[in-house]
Amino acid sequence: MGMIMKAVSESESNSFGVLVNSFYELEPAYADFYRSVGAKRAWHIGPLSLFNREFAEKAQRGKKGVIDEQECLKWLESKTPGSVIYVSFGSGAKFTNEQMLEIAAGLEGSQQNFIWVVKKNEKQGEKEDWLPEGYEERTKGEGLIIRGWAPQMLILEHKAVGGFVTHCGWNSALEGISMGLPMVTWPRGAEQFYNEKLLTQVLRIGVNVGATELVKKGKLISREEVAKAVREVIDGEEAEERRERAKKLGEMAKAAVEEGGSSYNDLSRFMEELKCYKVEKVEEEDTTCFTLWNAFLVIVNKLFTIQ
């Protein structure tokens, strides 16, 4: 981790500026602080996930899902609004069989509808020691397990989804925020514990499942803790207030990327500053530099003009 942070720091200090996948209204104090202390240009141009506006873009963002999008949506359509908890720990998540068993039992014990995205273990083949016997039959109708890649944005934006169990990776956290969803936070490493504090303590839209240590230290989160956190997000005493806060953030996120919004305007400023910088640099560099700059500007302009 130290080597990564060093590389990031060096890259940042030598860069023209920093593009941030966030929006100003989400964390204004931090945005202002970074700009004042870092003495660097910074443009908040997110949430980038909101630039995927067509059905196909949302369904296949990253790669093709292992479940048919229509099948998934049909399942969601059968549920009442806000009744489904979506569970996904990112593409790099690895849990022990013992922890997977606790998650499974916790979801069942919560008595809430759920979609659970599980990273398939290729070494195990078809064998799944972590799934309790008869589990899928018992939870049929209430639970849907997706083994592999899922159309996350299509799921998160569906009216039936009322919460998101997340590892607090920034992209996933921001996608949950963009869709106006309260979250069950389960950080596992890296900066995820800081992201969790933003969700639970600053924005107050998250409920901690009880994960306080790096996953490699081996603390087991019990089924009771999982069930409690899920119930608290879906229908707990503070659930309604938490939902309202999350909903307002989702509205702000969408407004930020529309014309006249903070992210839209920051992207406009970035393009203008980049054009000026390009002119200065071309006077010093060869035509290869000019070609690369123009190619980059075309890409940025394409992103900017998506409606």
* Residue 54 pLDDT class (50, 70, 90 cuts): low
57 pLDDT more than 70: no
Residue range 125-145: average pLDDT? 84
The residue-averaged pLDDT of 23-51 equals: 88
Q: 115 in helix, strand or coil?
A: strand
Query: Is residue 222 predicted with pLDDT exceeding 60?
Result: yes
Contact by Cβ (8 Å): 44, 22: yes
Mean pLDDT of 30-59: 79
Core vs surface per residue 87-118: b (16+ CB within 10 A) or e? bbbbeeeebeeebbbbbbbbbbbbebbbbbbb
Percent over 70 (pLDDT), the chain: 80
What does the pLDDT read at residue 120? 67
Evaluate if residue 124 carries a pLDDT over 60.
no
CA distances from 253 to 128, 179, 249 (A): 39, 8, 6
**pLDDT band of 38, cuts 50, 70, 90:** low
Name the residue among 198, 212, 203, 188 with its Cα closest to residue 89: 188
Q: Which residue has the tokens 């529309």?
A: 258
Higher pLDDT, 258 or 66: 258
Question: Among the ranges 5-9, 15-19, 187-191, 205-209, which has the highest mean pLDDT value?
Answer: 205-209
pLDDT band at 306 (very low <50, low <70, confident <90, very high): very low
Q: Tell whether the model's pLDDT for residue 121 goes beyond 80.
A: no
Token match 């999982």: residue? 226
The overall average pLDDT reported for the chain is: 85
Query: What is the spatial distance between Cα 94 and Cα 130, in angstroms, rounded to a whole number?
Result: 12
Between residues 34 and 304, the one the model is more confident about: 34
Mean per-residue pLDDT, 249-258 = 98
What would the mean pLDDT of 29-36 be, rounded to a whole number? 88
Distance CA 55, CA 131 (A): 32
Between 168 and 212, the more confident residue is: 168
Residue 276 has pLDDT above 90, yes or no: no
Secondary element (H or E) of residue 20: strand 18-20
* Per-residue pLDDT band at 212 (split at 50, 70, 90): confident
The reported pLDDT for the residue numbered 65 is 52
Whole-model pTM: value is 0.85
**In which residue are the tokens 């970035």 written?**
270
